[in-house]
Structure 1
Amino acid sequence: MTTSITTSELKPDATTGSLAVARLFDGEHWHSNVQLSWQQGQITAITPAAGPVQAGSLVPGFIDLQVNGGGGALFNNQPTLAALNTMAQAHRRFGTSAMLPTVITDSLAVMQQAADVIAAALANKLAGVIGIHFEGPHLALPKKGVHPAAHIRPLTAAELAIYQRTDIGIKLITVAPENVTPAQIKQLIAAGMQVWLGHSNADAATVQDALAAGACGFTHLYNAMSPLGSREPGMVGVALTDAHSWCGLILDGLHLHPIAAKLALAAKPKGKVLLVTDAMSPVGTNDTEFAFFSGTVRRQGNQLTNEDGALAGSVLDMASAVRYAVQVLDVELHEALCMASLYPAQALGCGDYRGKLQPGYQADMVLLDQQLHCQQNWIAGNRVY
């Protein structure tokens, strides 16, 4: 029988410490009544607990590849260090330990400001910010979603100069392969970018050419991409049948029908489907509307729509996405946790030090209660929530 102890008795708020818990998922296996120890932000050992343990399940911190906003701040509207801090704090409450703040299709000036802010965040070691996701502007108008048409444009040297920066951490870009050539995809990869495909009306052959050039993932699978058809498989068909690429899913019950989500999980190899939020500024707030370029996005329940009624991101958080996977899609808990931590880490190329609670890994960890709600959150051994 386990014995609960109070938070005040723990010593988690330092880069060196230990924590005894009733259950721990290390990214591969479950452990009972163990103590996790860390030094200088890195996990050093998992040993049997010698005394009282904290109730709940300690799991790897969640990693979100697509975060537009949170806490009332939208990155495009406020490309500032203060806004990034607000976003990071909002998502920590829901178990996110690492994120790619996402700037959607916008002017060159906003893109440059966003890159400058990410560089400053990394230089100042803002906990949880590990890079940037440029979702656009090199997208396809027929599948633009709520991205502003006025800023959708071809890739030029001006944008490439931003993408070539070496001070902005992990760099991911979403492009439409009908508007970005295989040669340009190779150029982006040479600049250190991860190239994902989305907001595209491309045919299957064009998508396959982009994958052959080095594109490695699909942004919010099914949404804003050419659908699977009997004679033209589209982007969705290629994504579902390609064994090597990753696919992000927005599991908010609005972007995807559960059957579509289950199809992706059945079709893709294990480890190639991961959770993303596509979160907008209302996450963690009671805000019911926010300014979005020249218009307004309104919230009704958990649905965000613009004036035309189109979905405009989500108010999803990572813990809620995990719960949806388990409760609605019947995904095993350990697999849902991997979809929120290990698989995103592997997709981003940091799976050798993030996404697991094992010696040598960064002490990014979340304590979940029985209902899978985040109780506490640590980044590099420092408790941030």
Structure 2
Amino acid sequence: MTAPPDHAIAAERVFDGDFFRHNHVVLLRGGAIIDVTDAPPPGVPVTRLPPGAILAPGFIDVQVNGGGGVLLNDDGSVEGIRRIAEAHRAGGTTGFLATLITDTRPAIARAIKGVAEAIRAGVPGLLGIHLEGPFLSPKRIGIHDPARLARFGEGDAALLTGLGTRGITLVTLAPEEVPPGAVADLVARGARVCAGHTADDGAAIRRALGEGLSGFTHLFNAMSQVGPREPGAVGVALAEEGAYAGIIADGHHVGDLQLRLALRLKGRDRLMLVSDAMPPVGDASDGFTLFGRRIRRDGDRLTGADGTLAGAAITMAEAVRHMSGRGGATLAEALAMAALTPARFLGLDHRLGRIAPGFCADLVALGPDLSVVGTWIGGRARPEAAGRQS
């Protein structure tokens, strides 16, 4: 006999990862979803979301540099990563990759150790690490520190994949800056590899795709653009049907027309929302220091002294709101781009990104204005989760 649910969440609208269901109840047991039905069994405690609220799969962000006043490069301790996680959970993120931007090899080793310790300590939502650099093009460096760029050499594949099976590893690199076979080596060791901060005309990127490169980091930003004869990174990303692409929908990094173009060419199954968030998310400060450079905050826009964009100050909920408003996506498309698509990219779509029996109870509740009113990770709600018990 199947054990009964230990809790249920009722909502006027439930987005299951593909479609909306109206006036449904999600039944939970032991941190997992066991059914989606139109009424809870008698005697089961029910959290009823406010009128107009949406229950959706929790957001998954593959590019979180910081939050809560913490930058991973500066503080990779368990408590530092926990503060980042809490800041982003308030914005609907229930799964994320802690992201280290270009830094030294000792800093990479420390960050991997810190993420491993945080996973072992059970920091809610932490899925692994994203190493963005240091093998990037100096021509497309963006806000990264050029002094910390490096050449890919012996031992680097082992260093970058040091997290092993304890979590997911994503590596962003410029394919023209690494030797042939480097991407294949990283993939063979279990990493996912994206092209980013690249000046390549397309040839090295296509070679890397043949070696297992599977995505592109912050599409349109810090990468070669489409030319009349050379596709550049943007052209390859848009034309390669099987490749994934992260995109920052904050109104600053990518124009709304380009968001619409990317969605039309990639579709919701390959285009995923990312925050590229920095420490000001969930923090009231007016900026922060990045490798000795002062980064100013103006609303949700972050820039260096020369005006270079320096990551973002948005949450995934804000990205969903922008993409489903000005970015041309339907709400269903934007919600999928924030959950199911990144889950598929990370190879976790067998347990994350859907509201369906057998999936983890990682959930977000959104108000009619798409503000976050509650989250659950493994079926456990934040103390401020909205809804009344019955």
Does the alignment reach a TM-score above 0.5? yes
Alignment correspondent of 1:128: 125
CA deviation profile, 1:197-253 (whole Å, cap 9, x unmatched): 010000112211111111000000010000101122111111110001001110000
CA distance in 1, matches of 2:338, 2:23: 23
Question: What secondary structure sits across from 1:323 in the alignment?
Answer: helix
Matching residue's letter, 1:279: A
Alignment correspondent of 1:54: 49
Return the match for 1:43 from 20, 33, 36: 33
| 1:344–1:260 distance in 2 versus 1, CA, 3 Å | same
Alignment correspondent of 2:43: none
Instruction: Say if 2:253 is the partner of 1:261.
Output: no
Q: Is the 8 A contact 1:262 1:329 kept in 2?
A: yes
Instruction: Say if 2:135 is the partner of 1:138.
Output: yes
Q: Is the 8 A contact 2:101 2:131 kept in 1?
A: yes
Matching residue's letter, 1:129: L
Matching residue's letter, 1:161: A
Q: CA deviation at 1:52?
A: 8.8
Identity of aligned residues (%): 39
Q: Is the 8 A contact 2:260 2:328 kept in 1?
A: no
Could you tell me which runs of 5 or more consecutive residues in structure 2 were left unpaired when the two chains were aligned. 41-45, 385-390
Return the match for 2:239 from 216, 238, 241: 241
| 1:16–1:100 distance in 2 versus 1, CA, 3 Å | farther
Q: CA deviation at 1:295?
A: 1.3
Alignment correspondent of 1:156: 153
Alignment correspondent of 2:369: 371
CA distance in 2, matches of 1:136, 1:94: 26
Instruction: Say if 2:68 is the partner of 1:78.
Output: no
The size of the alignment, in residue pairs, is 371
Alignment of 1:57-68 (within 5 A): 57-68=54-65
Q: CA deviation at 1:270?
A: 4.0
Alignment correspondent of 2:387: none
Alignment correspondent of 1:179: 177
Alignment correspondent of 1:30: 20
Alignment correspondent of 1:93: 90
Q: CA deviation at 1:346?
A: 0.1
| 1:332–1:95 distance in 2 versus 1, CA, 3 Å | same
Question: What secondary structure sits across from 1:84 in the alignment?
Answer: helix
Matching residue's letter, 1:226: S
Tell me the TM-score normalised to structure 2 length.
0.92
Poorly superposed stretches of 4+, deviation over 4 Å: none
CA distance in 2, matches of 1:269, 1:34: 28
Alignment correspondent of 1:227: 225
Q: Is the 8 A contact 2:169 2:192 kept in 1?
A: yes
CA distance in 1, matches of 2:264, 2:36: 33
Could you tell me which runs of 5 or more consecutive residues in structure 1 were left unpaired when the two chains were aligned. 1-14
